[in-house]
Structure 1
């Protein structure tokens, strides 16, 4: 029997989302979609009815039939461009990751975009089809001519990017609504590329099937994504624990010892000579106090002997030429 606290904790704890499995129905749809994919490729390679229909639509030139919607569709087609759509969906799924406490939404988006780039990119480069604006001869399939438009990347990206939101929905009703919105966006982006003349109609149909195959194959990657999530969360916990156990170094702060009344009655300490100069001593109020320098009396100063005689010159006085001074001169006079 659970207590009230345990029930409250269980309600507050985020529930683990249900991971889709590869059921028989999903596997059957995957196989049927793969057959359609191969049929479109074979039809274009053999220059059969898909190529004839491509040329009929191209020569009809939809952008000239309805020029008034050209500006709107120029902006609408951005919903299939990989960069802006990936950033918008990643921001939403990042917030869901924070709320649910799981990395699965971002891992599903990253895995689906990786599969999309690998499969669609390889098909584009391998078949090298030219677009309608670069076609060389009427009725040709324009394959292996150095192009990169087969299948349509905008269309496949619209299917995968918006379809991931439906794949990650947590309730059946939300999944149905998201699936319808994603299908309409993918349909609109694909037909917009045909209207603008940047893709053949067969490019768009192959883009739809290529994006759908990526979404249908995601359950096969749920187990690797779960292992990757567990490894990333464990790594994050180790990093946080290491950051907590090893605090950042703190510089020591000098704290002045409290003064007692006895310290105030003691005489001031003599300054300490440091490097030939006396260091200053701080007063009890904290102001620097320089010690008084001793004043030397005039009588104690070192006398300075002036050069030459201070008496004025006299014509009666003989100059001192003897190095012995006056005493030596007087001696010589007495002796003579």
Structure 2
């Protein structure tokens, strides 16, 4: 049954090219309004306004003590805002879409959005250094510049971006509306869950929603870079494929015959030294196959035997002796001794 399903998927035609969203006037207006809301929250926390007072009231209310029955469920639900698990789940889905649609845009868009999220949210977290509710030191204080890293809420911003990217990459208007509603509910629930657990102030969650929404609204400005990155990756892939299709040179087998150049000489002397060589013109070089395991001879000039200096003198190698005579000569008669 599963084989038939996958075979049916493979027979589906390639989907049409999906045009990325453009930075329309409506989107620019939303981006500007969200940015103004973002800056207003930061300013309200910096001056210790009524928003900080509301943070303390919610924190002292201790929601996790008011409704302890849902604590166990919300401990698992808040995982939908953690960057690691959510990024893996969404990347698996977008990876399958990239394979089906023959494009890397879904995965590259997810990577670009997470990179922008880490840079923007991380910079504000470290810059303001706000402490969380469990580490607060003074009632009514904004707890800024104290070495913390919870403003804005990373869980909330990550939930907005990770689940909202599915709506951003939707192929139909109907799917975009449904996915937008789902991502809004998930991100809203994750933000309120962090307030319930006491890990974030209410203003942290508000700023996290605004930070994630700014990333989603500003993604069309990043689309040209995503297109260039996709074209470069495909160009590199084609270069690798071209290298793989190139015919490599045939190497000489180990232990096989090698062709070497051996000098040949005219006359009978050449055939006397090596009967396998035929006499050719003097001074010419002929390619001869050398057997395996032999080293080629050096190109040196050989002299004829008649021109060589003998190594030993002609005659007997024994030193002369007074009592000895050459072999084959007559020797004097030895006296016979007798009794």
For the pair 1:151 / 2:148, whether they are aligned, the reply is no
| Shift in alpha-carbon separation, 1:103–1:53, aligned structure 2, 3 A | same
- The equivalent residue for 2:57 is 56
Counterpart CA distance in 1 for 2:110 and 2:156 is 17
How much is the aligned-residue C-alpha RMSD, in angstroms? 2.3
- The equivalent residue for 1:37 is 38
- The equivalent residue for 1:110 is 111
Matches within 5 A, 1:83-94: 83-94=84-95
Task: Give the drift of 1:70.
Answer: 1.2
Structure-1-length-normalised TM-score: 0.71
Is there any run of 5+ residues in structure 2 with no aligned partner, and where? 1-11, 256-335
Counterpart CA distance in 1 for 2:142 and 2:252 is 74
Task: Give the drift of 1:248.
Answer: 9.2
- The equivalent residue for 2:304 is none
For the pair 1:98 / 2:99, whether they are aligned, the reply is yes
Task: Give the drift of 1:227.
Answer: 1.4
Counterpart CA distance in 2 for 1:249 and 1:97 is 39
- The equivalent residue for 1:173 is 174
- The equivalent residue for 1:140 is 141
- The equivalent residue for 2:291 is none
C-alpha distance after superposition, 1:202-231 (max 9, x if no partner): 000000000000000000111111111111
- The equivalent residue for 1:245 is 246
Task: Give the drift of 1:33.
Answer: 0.4
Counterpart CA distance in 1 for 2:74 and 2:249 is 56
In our comparison, the structure showing a higher alpha carbon Rg is 1
- The equivalent residue for 1:15 is 16
- The equivalent residue for 2:129 is 128
- Paired residues, number: 252
Counterpart CA distance in 1 for 2:104 and 2:251 is 35
Query: Which runs of 4 or more aligned residues in structure 1 lie more than 6 Å from their structure 2 counterparts after TM superposition?
Result: 248-251
Structure-2-length-normalised TM-score: 0.70
3-state SS of 1:169 partner: coil
Is there any run of 5+ residues in structure 1 with no aligned partner, and where? 1-10, 255-329
Matches within 5 A, 1:1-336: 12-247=13-248, 334=339
Task: Give the drift of 1:13.
Answer: 3.7
Counterpart CA distance in 2 for 1:77 and 1:252 is 64
